[in-house]
A = this chain, B = another copy of it.
């Protein structure tokens, strides 16, 4: 039997998700394991392989049916050398030849990339930006990540730092951990939105509640997401006029606020983008949800 499936691994701070993709790009099986103790690379390799082998068995697949393994990581990755450049949670992986090392242990080709890039690849190939050759996929969460797809491929840029739209300055604002100041992320990252939500709607407000309230039409909650969307759309307008993507995909937890957020982003882009772009760029909600990271990681194998 020929090698028929791709494995994807999405390494997160708390959980690591794994999944199997068939030749047609369907996620046929998935699971997750805790990320505890992953600074021990041997432990990581063993735990993830065990979990993948279990997934394979449940699908009546053998280890040899896996054509290759892709892995998304929460930091910039030198994809040419298969090396993590910086990783807040798992320090021992930095500058280590992770791809080569895991490849040896697992007996497979292992491809690494940044997790936001993996999500972007998944949405571009199989999700909301399917069919677009140039797309920007934004992930709204604790941070504001993004992956840029140019001519169908992940854009890494010369330093493997491409697409960091979360660090576009939007105001003469506070210092950011990135080294800049006034970054978009400081205004529309989860903690900033939560602060504003609580100042508008009381100290017990959560982002989940604010999202649910907005969907039910609550004016204060709608105002919160409207303003959030305007700030995101404002920053994205500059990207629209520079990179000229066909599609902008909005995903991540915050995107659950729904229509009001997406519409505010869309309208702000319509107000600030060049006329040739405002009629062309489409702003869409992500389609693949929490699976995007694993799917995109698996797609690295054939990217």
A residues whose Cβ falls under 8 Å from a Cβ of B = 76, 132-134, 148, 150, 155, 157-159, 161-165, 167-169, 178-182, 234-235, 237-239, 241-246, 271-278, 280
Contacts and interface: CB of A to CB of B under 8 A. Distances in A.
Q: Which of A158, A163, A234, A245 is the most central at the interface, judged by chain B CB atoms within 10 Å of its CB?
A: A158
Given A150-B150, A272-B169, A244 B158 contact: yes
A189 to B, nearest CB: 15
A74 to B, nearest CB: 15
Contacts of A274: 161, 164, 167, 178-180
Given A159-B277, A159-B280, A274-B167, A242 B148 contact: yes
Contacts of A168: 237-238, 241-242
17 contacts: A159-B276, A159-B280, A161-B277, A162-B243, A163-B242, A164-B241, A165-B238, A167-B241, A167-B274, A168-B241, A168-B242, A178-B241, A180-B274, A181-B271, A182-B272, A239-B242, A242-B242
B237 A180 contact: yes
Given A158-B134, A242-B239, A169 B276 contact: no
Nearest to A268: B169
Nearest to A277: B161
A157 B134 contact: yes
Contacts of A148: 242
A148 B150 CA distance: 13
Contact of A275 (B132, B179, B235, B244): B179
A271 B178 CA distance: 11
Contacts of A272: 169, 180-182
A237 B169 contact: yes
Given A179-B274, A274-B167, A275-B178, A157 B243 contact: yes
B133 A158 contact: yes
Contacts of A157: 134, 243-245
Contacts of A150: 150, 155
